[in-house]
Amino acid sequence: MVEFNYETTFQLEDENRLEKWIENVASNNGYEVGEINYIFCDDEYLLKLNVEFLKHDTLTDVISFDNTLGKLLNGDIFISIERVLENAKEYNDSFEDELHRVMVHGVLHYMGFKDKLDAEIKQMRTAENSALLLLNN
């Protein structure tokens, strides 16, 4: 089950469609969705988590806490709506496309995708793009 939670005034428009999309991404990669919680928040909220849990005193767009068991995806994905808006402007992308990219980014981490090294970043981007095609078809 995918749940959407809000710590800001932002609200998704089509939660059911996005839940089915996340389930399809998982299935296409040989996984099943257990419990994934999305928490949409602001920069201040996410910065506190970043400092407390990751010891990073920097703004970020997404933090995922992974509780995956084998092929059953579980965890909490925190997304700063403010960062997504800024990133969309910086990358000359729509807010919706950038939001969907960070939403699936967290799930891909649960499946073992990394993004520290150049080769890992390339694999992550390829997986994100493939997932975004599923949503837009």
Q: Which residues contribute to the annotated binding site for Zn(2+)?
A: 105, 109, 115
Instruction: Report how many helices (DSSP H) and strands (DSSP E) the chain contains, helices first.
Output: 5, 4
At 78, list the tokens. Answer: 């925190």
- Residues forming the annotated binding site? 105, 109, 115
Residues 101 and 44: their CA atoms lie apart, in Å, by 21
In order, the DSSP letters of 21-65 are: HHHHHHHHTT-EEEEEEEEEE-HHHHHHHHHHHH---S--SEEEE
117-126, Cβ contacts within 8 angstroms, sequence gap of 24 or more: none
